[in-house]
Structure 1
């Protein structure tokens, strides 16, 4: 079973906002002449369970207090920065996959998330869930109607 990460998406207000930021970063890499642009998220800590993350894991993003989407983890690349500090580059699929909104309190850094704890993809929730505006989905989830 894959292992996942969960992390706060600081400064984003919606899935569309996060996806726009990702798209802008990829475009900037292409503009700089990068032949194979990658979606990289750098963390301060190197996951000790990296092999489990690379075995079908995702990073689940908390946006405005709710788990809202995920990105597949393609690779985990530890490195040492110019100050000699060990860090990690998470290589992610640049496509945000909306998930069933689920409340999540704030925390620092990232946490592991077991497969059995993950919210379902919206595409598996039933007809129309993906077509609904994000704010409406949030409200319906809070009311227990979705």
Structure 2
């Protein structure tokens, strides 16, 4: 799945190149001879003061369009995240329910495979020896089991 950065990287590269070209075109060739003591804000003010109103509006419109595209992508990704979170909660509930059922089955198997005590062993021997002789013993054996 492509991340947000991967989706917008090509657009960002193109827009950065256009912005750099516009910035280079708008700066004077004698900008190198300016005093180095000027702050960054003064240099920025000079660059923007050299730009026309139309250039500034065009740049602003590009930034707004990019912002709107990013917002729409963010909204779509947020909706997807919410849907996946709901699915995760559903599957977590199914997993817990299945785990509880497995534990119940294991408890049931422990009762089924309980060790044979002395009395039941004697009863099994009696029934096997006298199987045909007494239906009552057979019934008792089946009830005890």
TM-score w.r.t. length of structure 1: 0.22
* The structure with more radius of gyration: 2
